[in-house]
Amino acid sequence: METASPLVQLSIGENPWHSNPSFEEDDEDSPPKRWFHYFPVCVMVLMLLAPHPSWLIILIHHHLLTLRSYGWFATHLLISYTLMFLACTSLIVCLARDPGPVTSPKDALDDEETSFAEALMAPVADDFNSPEKWCKKCWAAKPERSHHCSICRRCVLKMDHHCQWMANKCIGHRTYPAFIHFLTCVVLMAMYMSAVAISGFYYAITNPMNIDETTPLHELGVSFGGLVITAVVGAFLGYHLYLISINRTTLEDLSPFLLLRLIPNLTNPHDPLPTPEHRLNYNQRRVIKRAHRQIQLYNVGWRKNWGQVFGWERRRGWVYRLLLGGAGKGDGRSFPRNRRADEMLAKLVDELHNVDKDL
Helix (H, G, I), strand (E, B) or coil at 254: helix
For residue 322, the model assigns a pLDDT of 65
- Among the ranges given (9-13, 23-27, 264-268, 316-320), the one the predictor scored with the smallest mean pLDDT: 23-27
State how far the Cα of 331 lies from the Cα of 105, in Å rounded to an integer: 18
For residue 157, the model assigns a pLDDT of 92
Helix (H, G, I), strand (E, B) or coil at 141: strand
Among 106, 92, 99, 111, residue whose Cα is nearest residue 155: 99
- Predicted confidence (pLDDT) per residue in 209-222, tens digit: 888 889 999 999 99
State how far the Cα of 138 lies from the Cα of 149, in Å rounded to an integer: 10
The burial of 170, by beta-carbon neighbours within 10 Å (0-12 exposed, 13-18 middle, 19 or more buried), is given as: buried
More reliable by pLDDT, 26 or 194: 194
Q: Tell me the backbone φ, ψ of residue 336, rounded to 5 degrees.
A: -65, 145
For residue 278, the model assigns a pLDDT of 74
If you average pLDDT over each of 21-35, 99-113, 280-294, which comes out highest? 280-294
Looking from the CA of 335 toward its CB, the CA atoms found within 13 Å total 28
Map out the domains of the chain as residue ranges.
19-253, 254-358
* pLDDT over 50 at 198, yes or no: yes
* pLDDT over 60 at 8, yes or no: no
- Predicted confidence (pLDDT) per residue in 131-142, tens digit: 457 787 887 778
More reliable by pLDDT, 233 or 153: 233
The radius of gyration computed from the CA coordinates of the chain, to the nearest angstrom, equals: 27
For residue 60, the model assigns a pLDDT of 93
> Which residues neighbour 53 within 8 Å (Cβ) at sequence distance 6 or greater?
none
Q: Tell me the backbone φ, ψ of residue 22, rounded to 5 degrees.
A: -70, -25
> Which residues neighbour 163 within 8 Å (Cβ) at sequence distance 6 or greater?
169, 170, 171, 179
State how far the Cα of 4 lies from the Cα of 266, in Å rounded to an integer: 52
Helix (H, G, I), strand (E, B) or coil at 174: coil
For residue 328, the model assigns a pLDDT of 72
- Predicted confidence (pLDDT) per residue in 314-324, tens digit: 666 666 666 66
- Predicted confidence (pLDDT) per residue in 246-263, tens digit: 999 999 999 888 888 888
More reliable by pLDDT, 2 or 146: 146
Task: Name the band, by pLDDT with cuts 50, 70 and 90, for residue 342.
Answer: confident
For residue 323, the model assigns a pLDDT of 65
CB atoms within 10 A of CB 358: 7
- Among the ranges given (16-30, 256-270, 280-294, 319-333), the one the predictor scored with the smallest mean pLDDT: 16-30
Task: Name the band, by pLDDT with cuts 50, 70 and 90, for residue 227.
Answer: very high
For residue 13, the model assigns a pLDDT of 42
State how far the Cα of 99 lies from the Cα of 174, in Å rounded to an integer: 5
- Predicted confidence (pLDDT) per residue in 47-68, tens digit: 999 999 999 999 999 989 888 8
For residue 38, the model assigns a pLDDT of 86
For residue 350, the model assigns a pLDDT of 86
Query: Distance between alpha carbon 33 and the CA centroid of its chain, in Å?
Result: 20
CB atoms within 10 A of CB 295: 20
State how far the Cα of 219 lies from the Cα of 201, in Å rounded to an integer: 6
For residue 31, the model assigns a pLDDT of 67
Q: Give the DSSP H or E segment for 344.
A: helix 341-358
* pLDDT over 80 at 120, yes or no: no
Q: Give the bridge partners for 213, in sequence order.
A: none
Q: What is the pTM of this model?
A: 0.80
Task: Name the band, by pLDDT with cuts 50, 70 and 90, for residue 1.
Answer: very low
For residue 271, the model assigns a pLDDT of 66
For residue 138, the model assigns a pLDDT of 80
Task: Name the band, by pLDDT with cuts 50, 70 and 90, for residue 36.
Answer: confident
State how far the Cα of 106 lies from the Cα of 100, in Å rounded to an integer: 17
* pLDDT over 80 at 185, yes or no: yes
For residue 175, the model assigns a pLDDT of 92
Among 341, 339, 158, residue whose Cα is nearest residue 263: 341
For residue 230, the model assigns a pLDDT of 96
State how far the Cα of 128 lies from the Cα of 122, in Å rounded to an integer: 13
**Degrees (nearest 5) of the Cα angle 134, 152, 293?**
65
